[in-house]
């Protein structure tokens, strides 16, 4: 296995988007990355002499998938992704669903597809067997927390996806941004606790009289770095929608702030 980091660092992408070559001889190329100068050359170096059997996507966001068509053409390989990702990109390919399997290196290893919606409705994770490594895309990052932004992101789905990944007990996480996570299950459990704690903080803010997204944000994210206000408010919207799904009253800041 090998990886390459795209030249798109930022507050939400960390050091950049990671592309993985999974396999040695017959391999899968996961998340070819953003359509930026030098990216194809970066992928060619990553692939080396391996034969790419599939170009796969964890989801259809541009920083992971914009180069999908070009990568398929460059390596003579078909595309495989969730149906929603293929539709988002307007591309043909193999539709991947929960439980599908992709063989690597003649069956010496394989990837099991795990549907993990939440960050986006089309998010997939890929479980490398027999070693037990989980490629998580944006469902779990190498550091910090994942953005679940309303309306593309859905908090109830995200919490369920974290619980599903915990149940699979992966030995290592390979994220779409940031370094590998060696203590996989503790990180997944910490991610789930973080989201539940954030939701409790939002409920406290509402109970204390917060009447707008800005009010909630200023109470829940008091030390937010400049430039992340919109992302934080999108995450708050996702939590408010989750509260509504549970039948818990939250007032009307989400409706009042809609454009």
Measured between alpha carbons, how far is 38 from 26 in angstroms, rounded to an integer? 24
pLDDT tens digits, residue range 173-210?
Answer: 999 999 999 999 999 999 999 999 999 999 999 888 88
- Which residues, given as ranges, of the chain have pLDDT below 50? 252, 254-259
In this prediction, residue 134 carries a pLDDT of 98
Same domain (yes/no): 224, 147? no
Same domain (yes/no): 38, 124? yes
Same domain (yes/no): 129, 245? no
Enumerate residues 6+ apart whose C-beta is below 8 A from 106: 25, 26
Is residue 171 situated within a structural domain? yes
- Residues of the domain holding 207: 195-257
In this prediction, residue 259 carries a pLDDT of 34
Asked which of 183, 213, 229 is the last residue of a domain, the reply is 183
Measured between alpha carbons, how far is 235 from 116 in angstroms, rounded to an integer? 18
Domain total in the chain: 2
Same domain (yes/no): 72, 175? yes
Q: Do 105 and 74 contact (CB within 8 A), yes or no?
A: no
Q: What is the pTM of this model?
A: 0.92
pLDDT tens digits, residue range 69-95?
Answer: 999 999 999 999 999 999 999 999 999
In this prediction, residue 167 carries a pLDDT of 98
Same domain (yes/no): 172, 64? yes
Same domain (yes/no): 129, 12? yes
**What is the separation, in whole angstroms, between the first and last Cα of the chain?**
45
Asked which of 183, 209, 237 is the last residue of a domain, the reply is 183
């Amino acid at each position: 296995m090998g990886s390459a980091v795209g030249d798109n660092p930022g507050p939400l992408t960390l050091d950049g988007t990671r592309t993985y070559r999974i396999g040695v001889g017959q391999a899968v190329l996961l998340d070819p990355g953003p359509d930026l100068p030098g990216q194809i050359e970066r992928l060619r170096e990553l692939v080396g002499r391996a034969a790419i059997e599939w170009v796969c996507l964890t989801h259809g966001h541009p920083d992971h998938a914009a180069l999908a068509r070009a990568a398929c053409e460059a390596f003579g390989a078909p595309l495989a992704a969730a149906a929603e990702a293929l539709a988002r990109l307007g591309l043909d390919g193999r539709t991947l669903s929960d439980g599908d399997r992709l063989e690597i290196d003649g069956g010496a290893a394989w990837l099991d597809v795990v549907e993990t919606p939440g960050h986006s409705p089309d998010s997939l994770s890929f479980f490398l067997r027999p070693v037990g490594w989980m490629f998580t895309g944006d469902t779990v990052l190498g550091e910090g927390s994942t953005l679940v932004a309303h309306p593309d992101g859905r908090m109830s789905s995200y919490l369920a996806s974290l619980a599903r990944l915990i149940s699979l007990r992966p030995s290592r996480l390979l994220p779409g941004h940031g370094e590998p996570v060696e203590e996989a299950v503790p990180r997944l459990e910490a991610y789930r606790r973080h989201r539940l704690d954030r939701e409790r903080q939002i409920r406290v803010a509402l109970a204390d009289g917060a009447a707008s997204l800005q009010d909630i944000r200023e109470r829940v994210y008091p030390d937010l770095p400049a430039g992340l206000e919109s992302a934080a408010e999108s995450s708050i919207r996702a939590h408010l929608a989750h509260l509504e799904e549970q039948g818990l009253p939250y007032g009307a800041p989400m409706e009042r702030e809609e454009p």
